[in-house]
Structure 1
Amino acid sequence: MKTTALVFVLVALRQTEAAATITAAAASTVTPKTGQDLFPYETVQLTESNLNPLNASLISLFGFDDVAGANITARNQPKCKTFPGDPLWPQEWVWSIFNVLLGGSLLKTVPIAAPCYSGPHYDLDRCTIVVNNWTDSALHELDPTSIMFPLYQGNTCPPTLTPTSECTLGGYPSYAVKATNTAQIQLAVNFARSTNIRLVVKNTGHDFSGKSGGAGALSVWTHNLKDIKYIPKYTDKASGWSGPAFKAGSGVIAKDIYAAANERGLTVIGGEGQTVGVMGGYIQGGGHSPLSSIYGIAADHVLAMEVVTADGRYVTASSSSNSDLFWALRGGGGATFGVVTSITIRAYPKISATVVSFSFISATMSTDTFWAGVRTYFDYFLDFADKGTYSYFFIYPFGIMQFIMQPFFAPNMNIAETQALLKPWFDRLAALGINISPVYSTHDNFYDAWIAGFPLETVGRNGQITGSRLFQRSAWEDPAQLNATFEAWASSARDSGALLINFNMAPKNFVGADNAVNPAWRNAVMHAIQGSNVNTSGTADEAKAVRSLVTDLQTKWIAVSPGAGAYLGESDPEEVNFQQSFWGSNYARLSEIKAAVDPKNVFWVRTGVKSEIMKVDSSDAIQDENGPLCYV
């Protein structure tokens, strides 16, 4: 380091140490416009006065932005986000200053499987743990930069006990901020904006498209924001809600908020996966739930959000404060409009439920009989969903065909009532010679039923490409259209070997919420996902052939569900016409709000709102996060 640079950094370090102290000391408990106290970590906020001890150069790096009146377009922005190796990429001493301001929470990315490769991180014991638990979502959830669908990272550092290549960052971010207070998030947003570095947000990494990754990016890791507060009575005049609520940090996962509600004899609306960050990207993307046929989409039940916006400011978004932002954050997609630190949601009375699991396989019958049995199920979708149930079922096409129901979830029903509901369908299966052995259990609360019924999700499949579709009620109201829908859906597995993951539900807008949730959800009775695997050891042409196959299969599904849509969180990262598929008629308003709150495109995610203006420049066979982000 040159002498002048060394003098500068020593002075800057002294300044930033003082500023970091001032930041913590100046923090005070603030009451947001929701009428509820902030969490302790939310009271540690960056303010203009905290920045005063810094010199002008440092303020330009870490200070706030003036979004109001900004007129920023792609034409007067740099062509690409600043990337490692670029002349403008911050030098190490700048990152050191950043780390001091953060209080030491800056992490230089080490890929989760790096212990498997020769070098400074080699650790055989740790590598063995990673290899043996690679498909366990908890392993990736607890890592600051790992994502659960590594195909979109580029598979540049896969877990292995016999490495034959080097481990590289690929689509992992370069650095991550382990956020434990709001000021750290504000500093990260300001630094990324002022240096034009790509900014990503990770909570757990569940998104099917790898949205929490990004080569050369700075990541904000929100997973440690786990506070939960029970509010006995929350009044929101705009929605007419006056009742119990929970305020939860954006790092709170499903099993934690469900347990907290259950301890109070209450129920909240969240996802089926145990480790899903329901207070993060899940609820911002809408969020379907085992209770969707009773209560609708999770985003419908949000009362307020605390969020750091692209200018670095910390604001409350609710029906009475920043209402446009509040509308967009409920269904408009995560890491698109800001970094959410907490969400306040409604809570409902305790609910009982019965869960049922069973399966049948083609090895014990003809293939035609197997598919005839599956087809009988489709005749009951409207009746089942309209009675409040939610089913999670699979078609495994590997070798033999398998139908697996895991589970059929029946809220407010006991075993006898659930058996009576299922009997007409089960009788038809028996008439076809399909024998099943359903296992029933009933529970007096949602939490116990959910734990008993839903398996821990398997993730980390290195080469899976998925796509999804919301199939509308109208198809079930027309026999010819229903047959065409079933044929298009079934052919993906029967003829093309695609895995099918499916949900029968009716998530209407039961509370009349006005938000950005895809309108296609309101008339859906099936959300279906299809996936095919890429051989990550194969050729680029083989990978492209699988990519093309999934596109073709998605085209067939779209053809039988014109004008419908798809679920953002469990989707195809190359979804055709994603603007309509993910948001329908809401896209125009979302685009306007995005332009107003983030004119410099600080936040970008693949297939997110206004993402069409930029693209990752990747040379990999499958479009992933392994490359610089540039304007189209």
Structure 2
Amino acid sequence: MKIVPTLLGFSAVLGSSFQTVYGAATQEQWKRLGESLQGRLHPATPLSAPCFSVVNGKQVPRNESACREVQQGYTNPDFRFPRANARMILQWETCMRTSEGCLLDSLNPDNSAAWVGKDCKQGSIPPYFIEVAGPEDVQKAFDFAKKTGTYLSIKASGHDYKGRSSLPGSLSLWTANLKSMSYSKTFTPEGGNKTHAAVTLGAGATTEDIYKFADENKFTFVGGYAQTIAASGGWVAGGGHSVLSPVYGLGVDRVLEFKVVTPDGKYRTANEFQNQDLFWALRGGGGGTFGVVLESTMLVEPVMSLRVASISVPQNPDNAHQFLSLIINETYKWNQEGWGGHMTSVSLINVNPLLTLKEAQKSMKPITDFALVNNGTSVVEELPSWQAFFTKYVLSAQAVIGQPTIMGSRLMPTELFKTDQGRAQLLNITFTELTQYKTDPYIILGMPTVYKYTEGSTSITPAWRKASFQLGGSVRYSWNSTVSDIVQIYREVTERTQLARAIAPHSGAYFNEGDLYEPNHEVAFWGDNYPRLLKIKKKYDPEGILDCWQCVGSRGLTDPRFSCYLPLL
């Protein structure tokens, strides 16, 4: 079902709030743009606006039924995805620097303290969005931006820890309704002559739908660990890790072709045969900066059975210390055996497409034995397909959405796991996170450890190829936290992430999940690839029409479009 949050008549919004859009567009220009888009240009107020009696400084009737719908779906990703005015990570619905926004209490959306006597402010929600139906819509948006100075932002799913799909006062290009999916056993990239088993996906196709489509068509798609990730969007552009990546590579390793509108207004096919520089840049250079991807084609695998380990122990300091020690001691072996998964200080859900069930049980025996003698649980089983695994384990274990969440992470080099000293350093920083910072370390076995990589074929940091796991963690805060509270949390996340940087100074970080205030971010996210990426950025976007936080070529806090970011750097 397609849901478009118009909320107010277009002409009414034009008359009252169009001036909040950055740029010099007149009402007449907005009207002409809307007419040219045949009804696909819409105004938007914040998701929670129906619960408020004052919206953007104006008295409005409180809409009880619409508010109840928002309250019921507030932390549900399937509710948020089809709404252009919703984000999965809630600080990006606000202006953090001024604390203006329109949030409900995520832990209790019925809490009236969130709206009684409060003004629902626009925050970082773009006041207008285009419901993108094809390349012509994007081309019109680029032309409009160049003529009027209007900022542009791009959103598919809103799974974004860095606010790149939110931009106050911008015109948003919303690609979520581009949901096409097609499978070919003999896909040939344009200009090529070799065929591949591949799936072609619209920019709004979500992992849950892709996995179901794959299961119905008897293939396996290597994708993310949440149901509403748009696989053709920021996930793949930033690298795209999966629990199948140790064996089958990252998302960027599997892309055969992109269809993209670049800021010069051209609709291009980018693959290894044409627009090769753009193809390379889109394979890891990050979303929201080189153009608007409308479609991607990715390699697929045959249906495969998986060995799955789900192991946990009760949460207490002794258990956590020993569990983390076991994880760190076993990681290098697990890397070589093809295990991928997500792990905390007291639990793991890991998968393996290579080992037999007997081999998997043997591989997991040290941690299984520990769990069973410490009142924990251990299941090592075989499931017939990725879809069976996703349905049983992922839907209940994916990251929390619908709350303000801050994340930081680091790619931890394999060399650390080969020595007693390195493993001791890793155990020390992970346990320090848990005890000193009260943050449960979140470890992802998603590095392409046994995948056969073609050197130089992607633009992500080379640190991905030399790492054994990603060490990170997240902190959530409440709807009514003050600016000073939020500043302090961001500083603590940066400080905590520095523990990992200190023992891995020459590694890097995942662009999509790195610290919002990553120091020397160009090197952390792209390493030696950054100068080439910047050159490509300037080639396809010489006027800097697209810009996003810590993206290639970003102007950062010197640009007023980032006025809602906290100036911590």
Establish whether TM, by shorter chain, passes 0.5.
yes
Evaluate the alpha carbon distance shift between residue 428 and residue 441 of structure 1 in structure 2; reply closer, same or farther with a 3 A threshold. closer
CA distance in 1, matches of 2:191, 2:332: 32
1:477 pairs with 2:435: no
In the alignment, what sits opposite 2:30?
Answer: 95
3-state SS, counterpart of residue 225 of structure 1 = coil
Write out aligned runs for 1:158-177 (5 A).
Answer: 158-159=103-104, 160-161=109-110, 162=112, 163=115, 164-177=117-130
Shift of 1:146: 1.6
Alignment check: 8 A CA contact 1:354 1:449 kept: no
> Which residue among 412, 418, 428 is the counterpart of 2:360?
418
3-state SS, counterpart of residue 294 of structure 2 = strand
Alignment check: 8 A CA contact 1:470 1:564 kept: yes
In the alignment, what sits opposite 2:544?
Answer: 601
Shift of 1:621: 8.1
Shift of 1:536: 4.4
> Which residue among 490, 494, 507 is the counterpart of 2:435?
494
CA distance in 2, matches of 1:567, 1:87: 31
In the alignment, what sits opposite 2:219?
Answer: 266
Alignment check: 8 A CA contact 2:314 2:375 kept: no
In the alignment, what sits opposite 1:375?
Answer: 325
3-state SS, counterpart of residue 280 of structure 2 = helix
> Which residue among 163, 174, 188 is the counterpart of 2:141?
188
Shift of 1:428: 4.5
Alignment check: 8 A CA contact 1:360 1:435 kept: yes
1:373 maps to a residue whose letter is: F
1:566 pairs with 2:516: no
Write out aligned runs for 1:219-618 (5 A).
Answer: 219-235=172-188, 242-363=195-316, 367-395=317-345, 403-405=346-348, 407-429=349-371, 433-456=373-396, 457-508=398-449, 510-512=452-454, 514-612=457-555, 614-616=558-560
Evaluate the alpha carbon distance shift between residue 615 and residue 368 of structure 1 in structure 2; reply closer, same or farther with a 3 A threshold. farther
3-state SS, counterpart of residue 409 of structure 1 = strand
In the alignment, what sits opposite 2:75?
Answer: 135
CA distance in 2, matches of 1:290, 1:371: 24
1:108 pairs with 2:43: yes
Alignment check: 8 A CA contact 2:73 2:80 kept: no
In the alignment, what sits opposite 1:23?
Answer: none
Evaluate the alpha carbon distance shift between residue 226 and residue 620 of structure 1 in structure 2; reply closer, same or farther with a 3 A threshold. closer
In the alignment, what sits opposite 1:156?
Answer: 101
3-state SS, counterpart of residue 592 of structure 1 = helix
CA distance in 2, matches of 1:615, 1:447: 44
Shift of 1:440: 4.2
CA distance in 1, matches of 2:21, 2:243: 47
In the alignment, what sits opposite 2:9?
Answer: none
CA distance in 1, matches of 2:325, 2:540: 47
Shift of 1:618: 6.3
Percent identical: 28
Shift of 1:264: 2.4
Pick the structure with greater CA Rg.
1
Shift of 1:617: 6.3
Shift of 1:126: 2.3
Shift of 1:353: 0.6
Alignment check: 8 A CA contact 1:293 1:388 kept: yes
Unpaired runs of 5+ in structure 2? 1-17, 54-58, 95-99
Write out aligned runs for 1:32-47 (5 A).
Answer: none
3-state SS, counterpart of residue 260 of structure 1 = helix
User: Which moves more between the two structures, 147-156 or 104-113?
Assistant: 147-156
CA distance in 2, matches of 1:582, 1:381: 23
Shift of 1:491: 0.8
CA distance in 2, matches of 1:193, 1:442: 55
Evaluate the alpha carbon distance shift between residue 565 and residue 126 of structure 1 in structure 2; reply closer, same or farther with a 3 A threshold. same
CA distance in 1, matches of 2:554, 2:447: 30
Unpaired runs of 5+ in structure 1? 1-82, 396-402, 625-631
CA distance in 1, matches of 2:562, 2:22: 20
In the alignment, what sits opposite 1:76?
Answer: none
Evaluate the alpha carbon distance shift between residue 274 and residue 444 of structure 1 in structure 2; reply closer, same or farther with a 3 A threshold. same
Alignment check: 8 A CA contact 2:547 2:555 kept: no
1:48-82 per-residue CA deviation (whole Å, 9 max, x = no partner) reads xxxxxxxxxxxxxxxxxxxxxxxxxxxxxxxxxxx
In the alignment, what sits opposite 2:3?
Answer: none
Alignment check: 8 A CA contact 1:200 1:214 kept: yes
Shift of 1:240: 9.0
Shift of 1:133: 2.5
In the alignment, what sits opposite 2:56?
Answer: none
1:377 maps to a residue whose letter is: I
3-state SS, counterpart of residue 246 of structure 2 = helix
CA distance in 1, matches of 2:245, 2:193: 20
2:503 maps to a residue whose letter is: V
Shift of 1:228: 1.2
Shift of 1:540: 3.0
Alignment check: 8 A CA contact 1:179 1:220 kept: yes
How does the TM-score come out when normalised to structure 1? Answer: 0.79
CA distance in 2, matches of 1:193, 1:568: 28
Evaluate the alpha carbon distance shift between residue 491 and residue 198 of structure 1 in structure 2; reply closer, same or farther with a 3 A threshold. same
1:544 maps to a residue whose letter is: V
Alignment check: 8 A CA contact 1:235 1:241 kept: yes
3-state SS, counterpart of residue 455 of structure 1 = helix
CA distance in 2, matches of 1:264, 1:438: 32
2:441 maps to a residue whose letter is: L
User: Which moves more between the two structures, 133-142 or 170-179?
Assistant: 133-142
How does the TM-score come out when normalised to structure 2? Answer: 0.88
1:572-597 per-residue CA deviation (whole Å, 9 max, x = no partner) reads 22111111111111111101100111
